[in-house]
Amino acid sequence: MTFTGKADDHERNHDNVLEEYNAFMLHVKMRLTAFSDSINELESNPQHPDIWKNFEFCYLQLRKICECVALATLTCHRHLMQENVQTLESEWHAKNILKALLRDRPGCFPIAVRFEPDADTGCRHLAPIDEALSFKDFSEIYGRIGSRLHVRELRKILKNKLDPFELTELKGWHQSIVSLLNCHMIQLFENGAVLVAFLHIGDERTVECWWAEANGPFMAGGRIYGLPVDDE
């Protein structure tokens, strides 16, 4: 989708953002797929003595996914920010990046959406999914993953003990991230710009990222123009 009435430089800037965001989401999908495969291995043989390898692999993937989400969000908004961009681009802590972005660009966190068809117009509306992961939930998961990856107690190491693993918790985190990102949008608060991303997690289709326009005042439920109801 393209915007009308924008200068060429402005359109090129948006094209760069779209390409970069798409690259981040391809990377996220790759890691989510590896994460899912590792969970399947855990479920197929939960008593295996080396399950800790799968758990720690999953924790690492989820940590990196969170960091990719933070950097992808920064990519969308850095051309709109007045300062701290270079500092944030070198920051590795996902929570710190997003907290700084939210101070400057409130509402910049990805919004999970679903398409709702409009039989009268032949278009579909983006409706936010209220129960999807919030920034607060995202930050909590990120922090808890960090605690799982760190060696915290000397006595456990000396006794060759590992922390207990929670498969239900791990699966819940995976599902929360998938539900947030599988179909989501980023609000740019600039000329009604909305970036919509489809990750198609769980199938072979590639990641798709589109520009769209908000319908009237900027709200989470903007309309995608020119997308027919039967277009999948």
pLDDT in tens, 42-52: 999 888 888 88
55 occurs within a structural domain: yes
Pairwise CA distance, residues 99 & 144, whole Å: 17
Q: 3 in a domain, yes or no?
A: no
Task: Give the span between the Cα atoms of 127 and 112, in whole angstroms.
Answer: 8
Nearest 5°: CA angle at 192, between 186 and 197? 30
pLDDT of residue 214: 66
Residue-level pLDDT at 126: 80
Domain range enclosing 145 = 8-224
List the helix and strand counts (H, then E) for the chain.
7, 6
Residue 212, in any domain of the structure? yes
What is the reported pLDDT for 228?
36
Answer yes or no: is 1 within a domain.
Answer: no
On whether residue 229 sits in a domain, the answer given is no
Distance CA 186, CA 69 (A): 11
Partner residues linked to 208 by β-bridges: 198
> Please, what is the Cα angle at 189 between 184 and 194, to 5 degrees?
35
Nearest Cα neighbor of 196 from 176, 212, 182 is: 212
Task: Name residues of the chain where pLDDT drops below 70.
Answer: 1-15, 79-92, 122-123, 151-163, 189-192, 214-232
User: What's the pLDDT at 215?
Assistant: 60
Q: What is the pLDDT of residue 27?
A: 96
Query: Is the residue at 197 inside a domain?
Result: yes
In this prediction the pTM is 0.79
Number of structural domains in the chain: 1
The answer to whether residue 187 is domain-embedded is: yes
Which pLDDT value is given to residue 80?
62
Burial class (CB in 10 A: 0-12, 13-18, 19+), 135: middle
pLDDT for 217 equals: 36
